């Protein structure tokens, strides 16, 4: 008999249980995460009615991989630009809520007589809300476009980043004797340094690399490349004494800024879902009914504290940030649960063996209860706000309204804000790059050179000189680069900056000297310090123009990569104009694997008959299918271009059950809509759309016809065109140019 490894048997049991439980929970319209937890309990060691998982270590390995892909997926959804755009409201509300719940959790644990580490971990666990559960609840309630929903999503973005910081801090303070204020400060600075350094290098390298090999990037290769990058960053993060989860999150956030970000996110969905399921099942395996019975009262109390604490913490935080009482109440009630990051933090405590056995099952139980309550909290947030408003004194409501207006008013920018915007960001980023280069060379290349060539002054001087040469563009950028030109309306800001120029210049020069001193000390160990310290700035100053040009090129490439995604969006939006008279538009949608028409042909789907929208093009990996025929199959993950009114496209998207993405093409070459008037002498006049066969001749598809004032969107193929008709054609502009000539009665060259 062939021997089957126990890990495979356990995996089969895990996925079978997960499949059954998630089917049941989907039918009940409950979050599938709960199904995974129940499945884990069923196959876990505390449920013995049927076979359970045997190889616990194997499951832990699968779960660790699950955490990596879960964090990689969250990073793809995160994007540092989104963090920059969330605004002060989300930032203030999130920080207030995190500080409040961390403090409440810690104090509650201490009141129960728990050990210090249990209390600390409880505070961290309670401070995180569930992105997955909130998004699912908003989708079902149709609230994603509400004003308060944007505030909730902004808070979740800040919480995701703070969760990463908490994981790093918790990993470090779990070591006995390492819990101190100075150590926490050092860890926070160290984490911020590596986040900035990895982000800068990633944005400079990754988008350029993907652009160079784009023509080879089929869906299969794109998936392999992105996973390879993820795991490479995981290895790099662990080498720097950070967690694997942090590395996955960082690479996800870097790829999210590229033009391929949403494509990667879509391709990774199945992989992420598989390993996330294994992770959540492994979480459920740790549910111990005996512990839950023993701590039932504690579970109830923590659940109440979570719901009320998060409601008040997020709500008061939003009010302090200047949001209305209504939006603050709705946001607070939406965030009243714990979820996936709470599990990950609890798993961290268990793996480090610093928390008690009872904490994990309690956390899971609280999560299950708050997951059930979340949809109801969101649904009744409006009525509860009305109830609160009716009982608050009028004077208090007026004060809150005045505070909201004061916080939203545009105030004069302070001197520190002006300096940071004009100089601070450039100084910070260039300093991080210089320090990063110094540390990379001194920790990796320098020891190798010493072993290979021997420890001599010549080797040290050469390494120092080469490192200084590499760093010189960034030192020039730090010391001499000028801020971007301010607009004319910022005349007062320009005047204020001019008065501060001497102080700014001295500060930048001193920071540059400190960095040069740091660089030299990495290699020369105070040998010839004075000569080298004076010579280095002189050489940099002497070659400043040439180095400055190099810095400008580096900065331009970085900014090009950083803004490539937004630039592609603008270009494509510009090349796909609205059909204004028709109130129609072009939209791109991804066919979901669970769509009811996935796998059927275009004719079988009856999409145009049901919704009125027309599929004019399908992107399938590197293959582009223009004006698909009725027998063309609609496959999962196909990207389809739809033309129709907003209502028609919305109906089509509901039918496709899609994940809507922006209007950005992964292919070179633009497609847009072109309007043409048919001349009386045109060969198009008097012929039906089917007879013209524009797809074969010109690569165009007629999507609108205006005949004697009557407009038809997505006309039938038997429609006959007459002189004076206006037609709208979708296609490549280069191929449509000859068609426009034909519509005006001109003959094509060579015909």
**Per-residue pLDDT tens digits for 188-211:** 788 888 888 888 888 888 888 888
pLDDT tens digits for 580-591? 445 566 777 888
> Average pLDDT in the 2-17 region?
82
CA distance 119 to 106: 4
> Average pLDDT in the 520-534 region?
63
CA distance 676 to 742: 10
pLDDT, position 517: 79
Q: Sorting pLDDT into bands at 50, 70 and 90, what band is 750?
A: very low
The tokens describing 723, both together, are: 């002189």
Residue 249 has pLDDT above 60, yes or no: yes
> Average pLDDT in the 210-236 region?
88
> Average pLDDT in the 335-363 region?
85
CA distance 512 to 536: 11
- Higher pLDDT residue, 238 or 415? 238
> Average pLDDT in the 267-287 region?
84
Cα 128–134–136 angle (5° rounding)?
Answer: 145
Q: Sorting pLDDT into bands at 50, 70 and 90, what band is 659?
A: very low
pLDDT, position 263: 83
Phi, psi of 623 (to 5 degrees): -95, 135
pLDDT tens digits for 39-68? 888 888 877 777 778 777 777 788 888 888
Q: Sorting pLDDT into bands at 50, 70 and 90, what band is 145?
A: low
Residue 667 has pLDDT above 50, yes or no: no
pLDDT tens digits for 702-732? 888 887 767 777 787 788 888 888 888 877 7
Residue 104 has pLDDT above 90, yes or no: yes
- Return residue ranges of the chain for CATH 3.30.70.1450: 581-665, 671-751
> Average pLDDT in the 429-450 region?
87
Are 348 and 170 within 8 A, CB to CB? yes
Phi, psi of 588 (to 5 degrees): -110, 135
Residue 380 has pLDDT above 80, yes or no: yes
pLDDT, position 488: 43
Strongest mean pLDDT among 100-104, 552-556, 673-677: 100-104
- Write down how long the chain is: 751
Are 184 and 207 within 8 A, CB to CB? no
How does the average pLDDT of the chain come out, rounded?
Answer: 78
Q: Sorting pLDDT into bands at 50, 70 and 90, what band is 622?
A: low
CA distance 141 to 144: 8
- Higher pLDDT residue, 486 or 363? 363
pLDDT, position 660: 38
pLDDT, position 626: 73
* Least reliable range by pLDDT among 69-73, 210-214, 531-535: 531-535
pTM of the model: 0.67
Q: What DSSP line would sit under 322-388, residue for residue?
A: T--HHHHHHHHHHT----HHHHHHHHHHHHTT-S-TTHHHHHHHHHHHHHHHHHHHHHTHHHHHHHH
Q: Sorting pLDDT into bands at 50, 70 and 90, what band is 661?
A: very low
Strand partners, 702: 729
Q: Sorting pLDDT into bands at 50, 70 and 90, what band is 391?
A: confident
Q: Provide the percentage of residues in the chain whose pLDDT is more than 90.
A: 7
pLDDT, position 307: 92
CA distance 601 to 593: 15
State the architecture of 581-665 in CATH terms. Answer: 2-Layer Sandwich (3.30)
Burial (CB < 10 A; 0-12, 13-18, 19+), residue 412, is exposed
Contacts 24+ apart (CB under 8 A), 499-507: 500/415, 500/419, 504/419, 504/423
The tokens describing 152, both together, are: 């909730």
CA distance 703 to 672: 12
Q: Sorting pLDDT into bands at 50, 70 and 90, what band is 126?
A: very high
Q: Sorting pLDDT into bands at 50, 70 and 90, what band is 371?
A: confident
Topology adopted by domain 9-387: Na+/H+ antiporter like fold (1.20.1530)
Task: Please report how many Cα atoms fall inside a 13 Å half-sphere around the Cα of residue 165, on the Cβ side.
Answer: 21
pLDDT, position 9: 84
Residue 358 has pLDDT above 50, yes or no: yes
> Average pLDDT in the 443-469 region?
85
Q: Provide the percentage of residues in the chain whose pLDDT is more than 70.
A: 82
Report the top-level CATH class of 671-751: alpha beta
CA-wise closest residue to 255 among 282, 225, 289, 279: 225
pLDDT, position 122: 93
- Return residue ranges of the chain for CATH 1.20.1530.20: 9-387
pLDDT tens digits for 279-320? 888 888 878 888 888 888 999 999 999 999 999 998 899 888
pLDDT, position 489: 41
Residue 620 has pLDDT above 80, yes or no: no
> Average pLDDT in the 500-518 region?
80
């Amino acid at each position: 008999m062939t021997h089957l490894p126990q890990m495979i048997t356990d995996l089969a049991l895990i996925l079978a249980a997960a499949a059954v439980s998630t089917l049941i929970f989907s039918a009940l319209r409950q979050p599938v995460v709960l199904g995974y937890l129940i499945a884990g309990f069923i196959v876990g060691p505390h449920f013995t009615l049927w076979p359970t998982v045997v190889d616990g270590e194997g499951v832990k390995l699968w779960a660790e991989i699950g955490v990596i892909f879960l964090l990689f997926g969250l990073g793809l959804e995160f994007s540092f630009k989104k963090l920059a755009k969330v605004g002060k409201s989300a930032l203030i509300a999130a920080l207030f809520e995190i500080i409040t719940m961390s403090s409440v959790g810690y104090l509650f644990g201490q009141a129960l007589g728990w050990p210090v580490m249990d209390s600390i971990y409880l505070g961290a666990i309670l401070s995180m809300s569930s992105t997955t559960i909130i998004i699912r609840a908003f989708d079902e309630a149709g609230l994603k476009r509400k004003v308060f929903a944007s505030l909730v999503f902004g808070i979740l973005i800040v919480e995701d980043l703070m969760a990463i910081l908490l994981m790093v801090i918790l990993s470090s303070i779990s070591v006995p004797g390492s819990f101190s204020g100075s150590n926490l400060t050092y860890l926070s600075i160290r984490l911020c340094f590596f986040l900035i350094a990895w982000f800068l290098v990633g944005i400079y390298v990754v988008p350029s690399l993907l652009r160079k090999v784009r023509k080879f990037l089929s869906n299969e290769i794109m998936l392999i490349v992105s996973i390879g990058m993820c795991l490479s960053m995981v290895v790099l993060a662990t080498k720097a004494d950070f967690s694997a989860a942090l590395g996955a999150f960082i690479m996800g956030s870097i790829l999210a800024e590229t033009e391929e970000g949403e494509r990667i996110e879509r391709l990774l969905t199945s992989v992420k879902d598989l390993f996330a399921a294994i992770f959540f099942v492994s979480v459920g395996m740790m549910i111990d009914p005996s512990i839950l019975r023993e701590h039932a009262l504690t579970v109830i109390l923590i659940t109440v504290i979570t719901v009320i604490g998060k409601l008040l913490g997020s709500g008061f935080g939003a009010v302090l940030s200047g949001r209305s009482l209504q939006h603050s109440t709705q946001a607070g009630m939406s965030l009243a649960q714990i979820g996936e990051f709470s599990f990950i933090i609890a798993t961290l405590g268990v793996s480090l063996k610093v928390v008690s056995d009872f904490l994990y099952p309690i956390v899971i139980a609280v999560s299950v209860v708050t997951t059930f309550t979340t949809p109801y909290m969101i649904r009744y947030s409006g009525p509860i706000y009305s109830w609160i408003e009716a009982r608050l004194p009028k004077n208090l409501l007026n004060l809150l309204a005045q505070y909201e207006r004061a916080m939203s008013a545009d105030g004069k920018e302070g001197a520190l804000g002006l300096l940071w915007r004009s100089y601070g960001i450039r100084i910070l980023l260039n300093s991080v790059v210089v320090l990063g280069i110094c540390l990379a060379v001194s920790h990796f290349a320098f020891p190798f050179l010493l072993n290979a060539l021997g420890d001599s002054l010549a080797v040290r001087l050469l390494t120092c000189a080469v490192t200084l040469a590499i760093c010189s563009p960034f030192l020039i950028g730090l010391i001499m680069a000028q801020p971007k030109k301010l607009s004319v309306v910022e005349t007062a800001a320009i005047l204020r900056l001019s008065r501060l120029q001497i102080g700014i210049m001295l500060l930048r020069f001193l920071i540059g000297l400190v960095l040069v001193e740091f660089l030299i000390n990495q290699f020369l160990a105070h040998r010839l310090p004075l000569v080298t310290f004076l010579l280095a700035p002189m050489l940099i100053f002497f070659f400043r123009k040439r180095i400055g040009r190099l810095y400008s090129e580096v900065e331009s490439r970085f900014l090009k990569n950083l803004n490539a995604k937004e630039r592609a969006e603008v270009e494509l939006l510009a090349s796909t104009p609205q059909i204004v008279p028709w109130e129609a538009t072009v939209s791109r949608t991804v066919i979901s694997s669970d769509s009811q028409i996935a796998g059927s042909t275009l004719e079988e789907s009856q999409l145009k008959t049901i919704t009125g929208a027309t599929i004019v093009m399908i992107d399938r990996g590197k293959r582009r299918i223009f004006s698909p025929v009725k027998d063309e199959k609609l496959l999962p993950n196909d990207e389809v271009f739809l033309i129709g009114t907003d209502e028609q496209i919305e109906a089509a998207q509901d039918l496709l059950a899609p994940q809507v993405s922006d209007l950005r093409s992964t292919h070179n070459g633009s497609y847009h809509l072109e309007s043409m008037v048919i001349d009386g002498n045109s060969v198009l006049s008097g012929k039906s759309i089917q007879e013209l066969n524009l797809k074969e001749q010109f690569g165009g598809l007629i999507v609108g016809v205006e005949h004697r004032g009557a407009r038809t969107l997505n006309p039938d193929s038997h429609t006959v065109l007459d002189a004076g008709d206006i037609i709208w054609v979708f296609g490549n502009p280069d191929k449509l140019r000859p068609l426009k000539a034909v519509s005006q009665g001109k003959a094509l060259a060579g015909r």
